[in-house]
Amino acid sequence: MLLKKMIAVCTFAVSALTITPAMAAYPEKPITLVCWSSPGSGHDLMARYIAKLGEKYIGQPIVVVNKKGGKGKVAMSYVLNQKADGYVIMTNTRSMTKRLKPTGGSIAIDSFKYISRVVQDPFVIVVKEDSPFSTMSELVTYAKNNPNKIKVGGYSTQSVDEGLVHDIEKISNINLNYIPYKGGKEPVVAVLGGHIDVAIANPSEMMTSFQAGKLKALAVTTEDRFSPFDDIPTLKEQDINNVTVHWRGVMASKDVPDEAIKKLDNMIQKVLEEPEFKKFLNSSNMLSGYIGSDKFGEYVAQQTKK
């Protein structure tokens, strides 16, 4: 019995000794980057670019694994069930954290450490080319006289899109009829076909129809105007005090050592500087949205408090 205890203590001591220098050498084996959406999706591509370009900065291969399901819950519970040593990290998005409680339960905002926000995907509010609305104020005035008559389509329920619509309703004191769609492009198609009046869309979803003159943009939802929508005013400029952007980033389990988080964060910062990553952002109409590990967690917590 005593012998067994001795052995146990010894092994523990030895392993403790070996762990410390191993940590300093993080990473010493390949890192798994879990992606919560399916292969080929925009989110998956971001993960794959980080994996491909990050390898030379972190010194180990990064392997992307897709764990789809439950709006990210499957991936999150998978990551939380792995050893918190920084070798299993995952991609996240605003819509994923939006559904979480701040604390408590098996998965919450504070179950994770937030490594970095990587990209931001703003929204553009669009109508059909022949729509009577050309500005947000025209839309608001109409909605005041015709509550619930303007049909606004966006992606899914309890989503960032729906949150944006409700924020606009609250700020302008109007009522809109929000119609949720399954994919991000569907509301744009419904606007083009004249089935609904307004669509909430990310640039990648409306860009080509907009450039072909089939859509009018009423507003962008960023702090400042951005290219190629330099002629489109922000919501703020139109007296609707709201900034809403969708974002994608990377996070890890909360028990992962800060040192590993820091290293991963540095790697992502460098990946964002890579010309190939910039080209990817450009071609998929997303903006760089880097926020480091020092501020990202706070940022997420603040957004979910609202």
Partner 1 sequence: MIDNLLLGFSTIATFPALFAIVAGVLIGIICGVLPGLSASTAVALMVPFTFGMDPVVSIVLLVSVYLAGEYGGSITAIAIGVPGTPAAAATMLDGYELTKQGKPGLALTTSVVASSIGGMIGAIILFCFSEPLANVALSFGAPEYFALAVFGLAIISSLASDNLKKGFIVMFIGLFLKTIGLDPFSGEERFTFGVPKLMDGLGFIPALIGLFAMASVFTDIDKATAKSRAIALSFAMPKIRQLLCMWKVYLHSSILGSIIGVLPGAGATIASFICYNEVKRFSKKKDQFGKGCLEGVAAPESGNNAVVGGSLVPLLTLGIPGSGTAAVLIGALMLHDIQPGPLLFQTNGNIVYGIFAGLFVACLAQLFFGLIGVPVWIKVISAPKALLLPVIASISVVGSYSYNNSIVDVWVMLSFGLLGYLLKKFHYPVSPIILALVLGGILEENFRRSLMISEGDFSIFVTHPISAVLLLFAVLSLLSPVLFNRLAKVKS
196 binds partner 1 (CB under 8 A): yes
Contact between 74 and partner 1 by CB under 8 A: the answer reads yes
Q: Which span sits near partner 1 by CB under 8 A: 130-138, 164-172, 173-181, 298-306?
A: 173-181
Q: Is 105 in the site for partner 1 (CB under 8 A)?
A: no
Query: What would the x/- binding string for partner 1 be over residues 29 to 48, using CB under 8 A?
Result: ---------xxxxx--x--x
Binding partner 1 by CB under 8 A: which of 23, 185, 226, 304? 185
Q: Is 108 in the site for partner 1 (CB under 8 A)?
A: no
175 binds partner 1 (CB under 8 A): no
Please identify, among the stretches 114-122, 188-196, 218-226, 247-255, the one whose residues bind partner 1 according to the rule CB under 8 A. 188-196
Tokens at residue 102, please? Answer: 């701040």
Taking the complex as a whole, how short is the minimal distance between the CB of residue 12 and partner 1, in angstroms?
Answer: 33
Closer residue to partner 1, CB minimum distance, 53 or 240:
53
Q: Of the listed pieces 3-11, 81-89, 177-185, 232-240, which binds partner 1 according to CB under 8 A?
A: 177-185
Binding site for partner 1 (CB under 8 A): 38-42, 45, 48, 52, 65-71, 73-74, 77, 148, 151, 157-158, 177, 179-183, 185-186, 188-190, 192-196, 204, 207-209, 211-212, 214, 279-280, 282-284
